[in-house]
Structure 1
Amino acid sequence: MGFTGQCRCGNVSLSLQAETLPPLYACHCLNCQRWSGSAFGLHLLCGAQGVQTAGALREYQYKHEGVTSTHYACDVCLTRLFNETTAAPDMRVVRASVLDGAAQWTPRAHIWTKRRQPWVVLPEDVAQWPESPTPQAFAQAMYP
């Protein structure tokens, strides 16, 4: 099964090959708020080989607390499409909102909720952590 999307200007297209849509999660950290210009970022943790792009990309890399994060955006409109992090080798964190049909998906988890905007109300039955969960706890919530 495949999922497709694009940047705001259409210069870069993205395709995601997966049997089912990877679970969606929301990150409320300050970096995601600033990167998105919104209250949180919506992400899909995907196998790197399943994420393909066509079109010119721009890379931005930064290091924080021993972790390197490389972000990929359209070279024209600067829409962020995905990132790779040394914290999750062989994975790509796709920005869910660039995919067609994103409005129909609901997050299975919320991370960094201690930074959430006070007006954001989270469902009580959805996994949530004040900061980043352990990989084991995150996997249990995302793949029950």
Structure 2
Amino acid sequence: MTGGIGGGCRCGAVRYTLALDDLPLTYACHCTDCQTWSGSAFSQQAVVAEDAIAATGPITVFELTSPSGRISRQRMCEVCHTRIFNTNSARPGVAVIRAGTLDRSNELIVTAHIWARSKQPWLELPEGAPSWPEAPPPEEMAKALGSPR
């Protein structure tokens, strides 16, 4: 590995490095929670190993418990409230990075779309791109993201 992949929050108080050689592939989530939280039509995210993230700065954790009892831990900047990444008790050791926080987000490639049944009607998904009406089976998502998981 060279120097890793950098990223951070809007105000610059939080910085992180991903212990990766290349930018990760990303996916777009079109669920209504992501639309509401991002204030946009979808959120763009990357899946990485939790231990690949080295973060510094004032990070706060916001926990959400789903009806099934799964706990989502959202990490965000205490200053500007930018969401950086989250983990979920259903997927130990896995983190989901908010792709827009990566320094080189303009170079990212979206390879899959999830919760497409909730996508905005004006949004056309690329022909042939993997998409699922809701959450995909983990092995199919891993394949779409080029991951061995």
TM-score interval w.r.t. the shorter chain?
A: over 0.9
Aligned partner letter, 1:99: L
Question: Aligned with 1:45: secondary structure?
Answer: strand
Q: Which has the higher strand share?
A: 1
Q: What is the aligned-residue RMSD (CA, Å)?
A: 1.2
Structure 1 counterpart of 2:29, which letter? C
From 49, 55, 58, the equivalent of 1:56 is: 58
Q: Which runs of 5+ in 2 are unaligned?
A: none
Report the count of equivalent residues: 144
Deviations, residues 50-89 of structure 1 (Å, cap 9, x unaligned): 1111101111001112321000000000000000001211
- Map 1:7-86 → 2, pairs under 5 A: 7-64=9-66, 65-86=68-89
> 1:88 corresponds to which residue?
91
Match of 1:100 among 103, 114, 125: 103
Between the aligned partners of 1:39 and 1:134, the Cα distance in structure 2 is 23
Q: Which runs of 4+ in 1 moved over 3 A?
A: none
2-structure distance, mates of 1:35, 1:5: 20
Question: What is the alpha-carbon distance in structure 2 between the residues aligned to residue 86 and residue 124 of structure 1?
Answer: 34
Look up the match of 2:136.
Answer: 133
Which secondary structure does the structure 2 equivalent of 1:136 belong to? Answer: helix
Counterpart CA distance in 2 for 1:135 and 1:77 is 32
Equivalent residue, structure 2, for 1:5: 7
Structure 2: distance between partners of 1:51 and 1:118? 35
Give the structure-2-normalised TM-score: 0.92
Q: Contact between 2:5 and 2:21, CA under 8 Å: does it hold in 1?
A: no
- Cα contact 2:28–2:114 (8 A) shared by 1: yes
Which amino acid letter does the alignment assign opposite residue 95 of structure 1?
A: R
Q: Give the CA deviation at 1:124.
A: 1.4
User: Aligned partner of 1:21: which letter?
Assistant: L
For the residue of structure 2 that corresponds to 1:25, the secondary structure is: strand
User: 1:53 corresponds to which letter in structure 2?
Assistant: A
CA positional deviation for 1:96: 0.6
- Aligned partner of 1:112 in structure 2 is 115
TM-score by length of 1: 0.95
2-structure distance, mates of 1:87, 1:40: 22
